[in-house]
Structure 1
Amino acid sequence: MQERIWALLLLLLLLPPPLCGGPPDSPRQELEPERGPLQPFDLLYASGVAAYYNGEYEQAVRDLESALLSHRRLREVRTRCARHCAVRRPLVPPGAGPGAELPFFRALLERARCYRSCETQRLGGPASRHRVSEDVRSDFQRRVPYNYLQRAYIKVPWRWRFHT
């Protein structure tokens, strides 16, 4: 009984996120490669904050905008890979009896392998480059980069904002 509960919890963790507002992506869009390797957003964010405090507001704007774009692209890649692998590697419901869970766990491992492969291919490198600290994750959830960006926009000279 307890094994089934753990299997169901594991299954819930691996299901793709629910679709919100709109039709699912077409299969052709699912397989499109991303443009170039994705830069880790935490490094871009740190660079933007450092530039802001050094008074280099143009550089702060560029880095903070790049960090926000990179963060959005990372979330999109993860969502697309989860959907793609859920379709390509469906999970087999566990059966009854001893050893009946083996097909389920085999399918689970295949889905995880598919997800890691998809993520590595679309990110242009290992996914471990995009692991961030809890502080950075919290800043992005609280939308702190937008605060820095708004302040940097105010301090950027007028000519730069409209003629670039």
Structure 2
Amino acid sequence: MQGLSFTFSAATLFLVLCLQLGIIESQDNKNVRKPILFDLHVPSTAEANQEISVKLKLQTQYEECMEVKAYLLSSVPMEGAFNYTQTHCLCNDHTITLFWDFEVIETVKFAIVLKIVNEKNICPNDLAVLPIKGDQYLTYRTEYTN
């Protein structure tokens, strides 16, 4: 009976060790799916009164779709497309590309704001997820004029 007890204890210890290592590995940040992946293209400089294009590609690693709203904020008043808010359904099977074209009159600091929102009639059948945390993203840029 002592041999069976030792075998059972060793097997139990091995199982607990495997489970513990599995839990630790699954909590590693490399395995966490990201709600939003960004690919932002902004020219670093522009001539005064030149129109520039800001291009933002969005992807998600979530299996579910989510509703995203994107817009720009600036340190100086801007006209035209700069003021447009864009709302889209972001799913893992396709990329969304957003464009803003605006004229740079002087050096301007601006923020690209992205919010995961809960709105009707954006995603098909209104099926979308809203993360518990990390529902707003900001990135700041400065467009210098020559």
TM-score normalised over the length of structure 1: 0.20
Q: Rg bigger for which structure?
A: 2
Query: Per residue, is there more helix in 1 or in 2?
Result: 1
Query: Per residue, is there more strand in 1 or in 2?
Result: 2
